[in-house]
Structures are given as C-alpha cells and as structure tokens.
C-alpha cells in the first residue's frame, strides 16, 4: 500500500474496501444502496460456503431464505435511510442461506462506510443455537423420564403393561419416532422377548417385527451392545459394508433411522429399548442418543418391578390374599371414627408400623402426622378428599411422619364403600419418596453449576429477588459482588482445561468459606462468579466483606502440586432498603458488572463500587466503541513520527510511528484515550495493520539509513499470523526488513501468552529488529532477555525523568544496570522521554547512545519530519 498524504486517510475505492474487509477479524461484506454486494472478505465466503469472489455483484437478499427476504429488504432500506452502527434485528438470531441451501443462524452488525456503502459483519451463531438446543433436549428428556416414572410407579400387574405402552407412545410423540419396542430377558435367560411396543396408527406394526431374539448380541452391532453402547443408524446407507444384512433389513421394511440402547449392566444386560423412524429420518444427531438411555432405564426399572411382582405372586399366592401381595399400602378404615379395621403388610411397612400394630389406630384425626406436599398441615379440602366425601378419581400427595421421626411421602387414593351396613374407606397409597427425591435432584441439577456445585444464574436470580423483597421489609441493605478472574485464559492455555476446572473449583470453595450464613455464591459463566450479601447494615459493611474476599483470593491455589497465583476484579453494587423495591435483579447485576469492568481497567486485582459516574463512563465507552468503528471505516486516523537521535553525532537514526485519532467532534485524540477500547473490541488488529502499512509506506520516502519503529499489540502478536501480515506489508511497500523496528510491551507479551513467542521468532527471522518497550517496569523483563530474540531495549521514561535529581541514585543505578545488561546481550538501548539537557548529559555519561523525547522534537507529521530530514542532510 502506498502512502496517501500526511494524514494517511484512505479513500473509499473498491481496493480500499477489500483491504479493509480482509483486515477485519470477522466475516464481513460491503453492500451498496441497491443491496448489491460490492466486496466480501475470505471469511464470509468460507462461512457461507461460496467460492472466493463468488459473492461480489450478487444481491444481499440472495443470502436470505425466501420467506424472510421481504422483511430483510425492509430492514436494510430502513437502515440505509438512517444509518448508524448497530446490530441488525436488535440482537436477534437471524437466518442466512449458504451456497448449498442450508440455513445458518447468524447475527449481523451494520456500519455505514459512506452514503452509498454499508459494511455488514456476520457472526456465526450455530454453536450457541446448538448448545441451547442440546440443553433443552436434555431437560425435556429428563422431565419426560420423570413423568413416565411417576406414571409407572403407581401401576401394577396389567396396569403396568398399559402404563409402559402409554409411556412408549409418549416418547415416540416427543421424539417424532414412529415405532418403539421394548425387549427383556426371557425367564430362562436365553432370549430377548418383545414385551411392549407402540406403533403409529397409520403404519403396520408387524412390519419388521421380531418377537424373539437370541440374548447374546450378534451381527455388526454386537461389539457396541456388549460394551453397553447405544447403536444409532441415521440411514441405511450409513452402515458399513460389513453390515449388509442389517442394511437390507432396514430397506426391506422401510426403516429410515433406528436407535437401540442396551439396558442393564454391560456384561449381563437385561434387554434393549429401540426406536424406529419409518416415515422420515431421525431429526437429530448421534450426540443426543445417550439422553434416550435414561428413558430406557425407566422401563427397565418397571420391568424389574414387574418381574419381582410376578415371582412374589407365584410363591405367595397360596398363602396370602391379593391385597396382602400388593406393593401399595391398603387399609380399611371405618368412616365414622377413623379406626383402621385391617391393613396389609405394605401399609404397615410404609408407615413404619410393625405387622398388626396398624389395626385399631386412627389415621384420619387431626393429631396424625399427615402434612401437605409443602410441609404445611393438611388443608380442609385435602381432608375432604381423603374422606371421599364426593366421588373423586384424583390422588393426594401427602407426607407422613413415622414414629421414628422420618418422613415418608405417599400418593393416596380413597374409595368409599359399605360393609355390613357400615360406611368404610378403602385407602390405598404408595411410597413415592424415591420419586420425590428424584424430582428434587432434577430441580437441583437445573439450578446448580455442574462443575463447582455452586448455584447457577437461574438460582441466583430467584435468591436475589427474594433477598431484595426481604430487604424492603426489614430495612436492610443488599449487595452484589461480581467476580471475574484475572488472566484466567493464560492458565487454561498453559496447563490445560482440567487444571483450569480444578482452579475454578478451588476458588469457589475458598470464597464460600469466607461468606456468612445466608449469603449465596454462584457461578454464572466461565470464570465469572457472583456473591449475594444479605442483611447488611450499610454499604460500608459490604466494602469490608469485599476486602476480605479479595484478600482470600491472594493466597495461592494448589493444583496437582503446582501453586497458581489467582486474583479477581470485583464489582460491588448495593441496594438500600429504599431502593430494593425499585431495583430488579438485572439492574443490580448490570451495576456490579460495570463496576467489575472499571476494576479491570484500573489495573485488576481490586474491587470497585458502582456509582453514577460509572454509568456515565460506561456510556462514554460504549459511544467510543461505535465512534471508533465508524472512524476506522471513514479513515479518521493519522500518524505522527517522533525522531530518534544518536547522542554521539546528534544525527537522526530513525523515528517511532505514533497513531492519533482525528475525532470528528473532539479533535485530535492521544492513544491513551482510545487504544484500550480498540484492544478490548479487537479493532486494534485492523488499526494496527493500517499503522504498519502507512508507516512503512512513509519510510520508503526517507534516506535508506533511517529506520521506522512500529508498536505491536497483544492481539497482533498472539494471532499466529503476525509474521505473514508483516511480510505482506514489506513486500507491498518495498521496505527493507532491516529498516523496520517492532516494539513490544511486557503487557502484550503476557496477554499474548506462549503463542506470542512463536510469532516474535518468526518476525525476527524476517529480518525486522525486535525491541522491548518500557524495559524494567515489569516483573518478567529479565526473563524475556533469555526467551526472546531481542535486538534493542527502550528505557522507560519514568527512570529517565528522575535523572534531573542529582540525588536520584536509584534511577541512575537502574539505567546503568540496563545499559550493562544490554551490552552483555549485545542489544542497542534507546532512552525515551528525554526532556532536559541534564537528562541528556547524564545519559551520555552513562554510555547511552540513542535517545528520543521533546528535548529533540515532539511527534511530527510526515511533512514536518520530511523537512527535518532534509535539513539534516549535508549541503
């Protein structure tokens, strides 16, 4: 790319648009006012499955499904009428159509390039949609299993068979299957017998039906079944060549997809549960098949119970009545006085009585330990139904406290009958304690984080709402602490996710141990946690607790014998009793989140309290992000060049390129006002690429002995393609690699992690000089002398400024040490921020050769530097 004037302002030609799009980190394309695509980068071609260049000239509506084109065209025209940078669809997930016709979930960000061109950045949301669908599918299957188990729990004998058939029907309807078959081991243990099945009414159930199979697995699927694995066949064509018989069977009987799950232990499995899709292939992928195993196990449990009941009935039929053999408790009660006339053994066992002791007791009086499902006393309506005052086929869920103090949960049904001219109640009940515990476990799983066991976002919301309501009543203060672990990604990258998970669990336990009873600690994302502090006296008490938690995190966490230093940025938001009624959970979370980001921007490892000023700062930052994006499109950036001089000769040796933002409203902005936002949003990559291109192009107009220095950010050197980007710029501009000096900060090296070392090595192999900026200010500066192929160091201005003071022995010692180290490692040294003759004199005396600073020249425009270079040339 050639130089384009003193400001470096790029035009809006097709070439510029193409270069701009190619530098963006996401899939992007540019559209004119008619909806025609004028340019598209390689990433969007890959995302949508088009050959490179195939999208140029096409209508943007061709990438939208037919049923959404009119709506999309309306949105596009509305945006072009009043353009501004925003998300298309208000943050909704939209649909795009790939080249192969497959629809793809995406979100789109729009920004005007000028009056005629709009840039659209396309984000693939497939993983988000699939993850959500997988969670929904799993919860649906678990709830379905709980529902079927509940139905089977109360059924016996013939009722159990009907209940199993009904359960198979319900599963097929939920999973869009056409046929379900349940095979269980025969009495002799030699075969699998078809005991239950369901088939869609409009299909022949006998097609492909096999009523009896050898128990030992055979054929292509045998190894999987023997290992206890599910066998899923999406289509007959997907079967291997060794499964020819199975494929022929599926084709012959019109089976489009099939799933078989072994039930029971791997070595001694007790049956199989199979689903068939005969009209259409199964509408899911193989990763979800294990969820169906839960449903199969529900039927296996029912079969085991049916088998046990059958054996028991056969052995005891000669000695006991039918009532005595029931698993359900059955008692006969005189309705007049509530006295138990008779009771079967199951009733005594369930209610905690010895055989025979239940007869003669009063089960219906108010003194009996019956409670409602929520633990409250039995209501008048429940007692009326228990006494069967009116015909009613419904059941009651009640709890009964046994004599030993344990609670059993029972499902009760009463029937009124007359015996010997006297009214009685036949009360039957089953023990549903296990089912209730299973339901509670499902609820707990839905409300807790599986890794740490902490409450998740759902439980956090419920708890916080209840805490705010209670605070409004009792006049207390509520606080939210939003935790985000600092540089957690570095640990994952270096030690692996297993170590990262162990570290998260360790942090969770440590913070929980510091909280008070009644407080809650939740994990809401990867390395994000929230603590809810209740019943506080005031905001100051919340600050004391935040300080204590921050201190607890400073202690190292040990994982597999390795100590890891952990810190967190914490945002604190409080709600007084007066505010509790007006604030929602989202309001309080949003405040704590903004305070946390303020803590990160302030240097991490600290806590910050939310204030109104933070809202203004957050809004300003959001506005700055949008303006930064727009100005990058509009070319509102320019470069300044600060000369670097040789102290011994006073001549120029090179210059450092420094970016400035010519803001449309605020004028010329220094890097400190916008570079951190560019880093956070990823826009530093296209911005840094433009700086590199512009600086190299400008340096080509200088004498060949002068070099140009360019700063590289963490995002640029951790991307694994830094060397290829720099090589392309050098080739495009023709600049000798030896004239390019690349400056890195210790922060960039830390953020770039281990991948940065490979990039830096590749850059040095190109021939570029590599330097460490602000040397001596970080903890790891000495380490980088050994691990990186450096060619020069820059002494930080904080040390140089202290040289004005004759008593500043510390600064003099540090500068002298840096110069001696550099000599040992054969590195050049540049002192930056030189502003006084005293500083220059002392640097010269210490042996420092190269300097830059306002004493010699401020950052200059390209034209100003050109005149300075011309003035330095010999006449």
Among 300, 309, 328, CA closest to 432: 328
Quick one: pLDDT at residue 131?
62
Give the C-alpha separation, 520 to 539, whole Å.
Answer: 17
Per-residue pLDDT averaged across 109-124, rounded?
81
What percentage of the chain exceeds 70 in pLDDT?
A: 86
Structure confidence at residue 3 as a pLDDT band (50, 70, 90): very low
User: Does residue 292 or residue 623 have the better pLDDT?
Assistant: 623
Quick one: pLDDT at residue 356?
78
How is residue 280 written in tokens?
């259409």
Check pLDDT > 60 for residue 8: no
Among 740, 650, 729, 742, CA closest to 704: 740
Check pLDDT > 50 for residue 4: no
Structure confidence at residue 577 as a pLDDT band (50, 70, 90): confident
Quote the pTM value: 0.45
pLDDT tens-place string over residues 160-192: 888 888 888 988 888 889 999 998 888 777 888
Summary mean pLDDT of the chain: 83
Residues in contact with 303: Cβ distance below 8 Å, sequence separation at least 6, in sequence order: 182, 184, 195, 270, 271
Count other C-beta atoms under 10 Å from residue 394's C-beta: 6
Check pLDDT > 90 for residue 702: yes
Structure confidence at residue 394 as a pLDDT band (50, 70, 90): low
Quick one: pLDDT at residue 674?
86
* DSSP-derived 3-state class of residue 786: helix
How is residue 390 written in tokens?
């009116």
What phi and psi values does residue 263 have, to the nearest 5 degrees?
-110, 135
User: Does residue 394 or residue 127 have the better pLDDT?
Assistant: 127
Quick one: pLDDT at residue 132?
60
Residue 495's Cα: distance from chain center in Å? 20
Structure confidence at residue 603 as a pLDDT band (50, 70, 90): confident
Sign of the CA dihedral with 35 first, then 39, 41, and 46 last:
positive
Among 4, 55, 7, 3, CA closest to 31: 55
Long-range Cβ contact pairs of 489-497 (< 8 A, separation 24 or more):
489/753, 490/750, 490/753, 491/564, 493/753, 493/754, 493/755, 494/753, 494/754, 495/559, 495/562
Per-residue pLDDT averaged across 329-354, rounded?
83
Structure confidence at residue 316 as a pLDDT band (50, 70, 90): very low
**What is the signed CA dihedral for 624, 666, 856, 806, rounded to 10 degrees?**
-70
Helix (H) or strand (E) holding 107: strand 103-112
**What is the signed CA dihedral for 273, 279, 283, 287, rounded to 10 degrees?**
30
pLDDT tens-place string over residues 240-262: 988 888 889 999 999 999 998 88
Burial class of 285 by CB neighbour count within 10 A (0 to 12, 13 to 18, 19+):
exposed
**CA-only gyration radius of the chain, Å:** 37
Helix (H) or strand (E) holding 545: helix 539-553
């Amino acid at each position: 790319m050639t130089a384009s004037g003193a400001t470096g302002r790029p035009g809006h030609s097709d070439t510029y648009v193409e270069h701009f799009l190619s530098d963006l980190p996401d899939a992007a394309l540019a559209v004119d006012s008619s909806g025609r695509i004028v340019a598209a980068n390689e990433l969007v071609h890959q995302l949508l499955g088009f050959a490179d260049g195939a999208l140029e000239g096409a209508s943007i509506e061709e990438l939208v499904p037919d049923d959404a084109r009119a709506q999309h065209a309306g949105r596009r025209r509305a945006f072009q009428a009043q353009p501004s940078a925003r998300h298309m669809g208000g943050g909704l997930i939209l649909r795009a159509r790939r080249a192969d016709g497959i629809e793809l979930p995406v979100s789109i960000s729009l920004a005007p390039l000028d009056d005629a061109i709009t840039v659209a950045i396309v984000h693939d949301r497939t993983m988000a949609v699939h993850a959500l669908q997988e969670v929904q599918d799993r919860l649906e299957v678990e709830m379905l299993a709980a529902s079927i188990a509940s139905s089977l729990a109360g059924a016996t004998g013939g009722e159990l068979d009907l209940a199993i058939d009904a359960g198979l029907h319900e599963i097929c309807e939920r999973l869009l299957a056409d046929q379900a078959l349940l095979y269980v081991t025969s009495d002799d243990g030699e075969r699998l017998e078809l005991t239950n099945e369901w088939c869609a009414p409009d299909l022949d159930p006998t097609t492909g039906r096999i009523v009896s199979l050898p128990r030992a697995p055979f054929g292509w699927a045998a190894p999987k079944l023997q290992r206890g694995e599910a066998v899923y066949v999406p289509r007959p064509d997907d079967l291997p060549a060794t499964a020819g018989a199975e494929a022929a069977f599926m084709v012959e009987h019109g089976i489009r997809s099939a799933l078989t799950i072994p039930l029971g232990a791997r070595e001694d499995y007790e049956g199989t549960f199979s689903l068939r899709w005969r009209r259409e292939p199964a509408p899911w992928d193989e990763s979800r098949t294990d969820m169906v195993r839960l449903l199969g196990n529900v039927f296996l449990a029912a079969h085991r119970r049916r088998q046990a009941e059958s054996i028991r009935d056969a052995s005891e039929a000669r000695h006991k009545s039918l009532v005595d053999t029931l698993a359900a408790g059955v008692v006969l009660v005189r309705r007049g006085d509530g006295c138990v006339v008779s009771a079967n053994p199951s009733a005594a066992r369930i209610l905690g009585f010895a055989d025979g002791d239940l007869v003669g007791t009063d089960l219906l009086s108010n003194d009996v330990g019956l409670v409602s499902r929520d633990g409250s006393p039995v209501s008048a309506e429940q007692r009326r139904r228990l006494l069967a005052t009116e015909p009613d086929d419904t059941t009651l869920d009640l709890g009964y406290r046994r004599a030993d103090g344990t609670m059993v949960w029972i499902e009760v049904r009463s029937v009124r009958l007359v015996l010997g001219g006297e009214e009685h109640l036949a009360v039957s009940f089953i023990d549903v304690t296990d089912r209730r515990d299973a339901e509670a476990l499902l609820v707990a799983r839905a409300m807790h984080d599986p890794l740490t066991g902490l409450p998740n976002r759902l439980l956090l919301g419920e708890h916080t709402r209840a805490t705010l309501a209670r605070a409004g009543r009792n006049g207390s203060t509520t606080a939210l602490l939003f935790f985000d672990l600092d540089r957690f990604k570095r640990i994952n990258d270096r030690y692996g996710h297993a170590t990262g998970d162990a570290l998260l669990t360790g942090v969770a336990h440590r913070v929980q141990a510091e909280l008070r009873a009644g407080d809650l600690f939740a994990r809401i994302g990867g390395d994000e946690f929230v603590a809810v502090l209740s019943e506080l006296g005031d905001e100051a008490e919340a600050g004391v607790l935040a300080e204590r938690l921050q201190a607890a995190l400073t202690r190292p966490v040990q994982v597999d014998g390795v100590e890891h230093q952990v810190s967190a940025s914490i945002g604190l938001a409080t709600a007084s009793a007066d505010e509790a009624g007006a604030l929602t959970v989202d309001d309080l979370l949003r405040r704590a989140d903004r305070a946390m980001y303020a803590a990160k921007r302030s240097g991490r490892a600290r806590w910050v309290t939310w204030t109104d000023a933070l809202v203004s700062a957050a809004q300003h930052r959001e506005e700055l992000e949008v303006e930064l994006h727009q100005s990058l499109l509009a070319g509102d950036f320019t470069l300044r060049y600060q000369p670097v001089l040789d102290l011994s000769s006073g001549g120029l040796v090179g210059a450092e390129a420094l970016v400035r933002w010519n803001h449309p409203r605020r004028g010329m902005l220094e890097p400190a006002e916008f570079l951190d936002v560019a880093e956070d949003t990823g826009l530093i990559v296209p911005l840094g690429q433009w700086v590199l291109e512009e600086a190299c192009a400008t340096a080509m107009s200088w004498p060949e002995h002068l070099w140009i220095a360019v700063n590289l950010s963490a995002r640029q050197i951790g991307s694994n393609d830094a060397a290829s980007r720099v090589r392309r710029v050098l080739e495009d501009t023709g600049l000798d690699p030896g004239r390019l000096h690349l400056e890195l900060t210790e922060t960039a090296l830390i953020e770039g992690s281990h991948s940065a070392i490979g990039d830096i090595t590749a850059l040095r192999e190109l021939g570029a000089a590599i330097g460490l900026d602000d040397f001596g200010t970080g903890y790891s500066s000495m380490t980088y002398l050994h691990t990186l192929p450096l060619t020069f160091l820059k002494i930080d201005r904080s040390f140089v400024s202290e040289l004005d003071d004759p008593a500043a022995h510390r600064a003099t010692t540090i500068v002298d040490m840096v110069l001696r180290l550099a000599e040992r490692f054969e590195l050049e040294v540049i002192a930056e921020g030189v502003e006084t003759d005293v500083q220059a004199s002392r640097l010269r005396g210490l042996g420092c050769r190269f300097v830059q600073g306002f004493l010699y020249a401020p950052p200059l425009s390209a034209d100003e530097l050109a005149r300075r270079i011309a003035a330095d040339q010999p006449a």
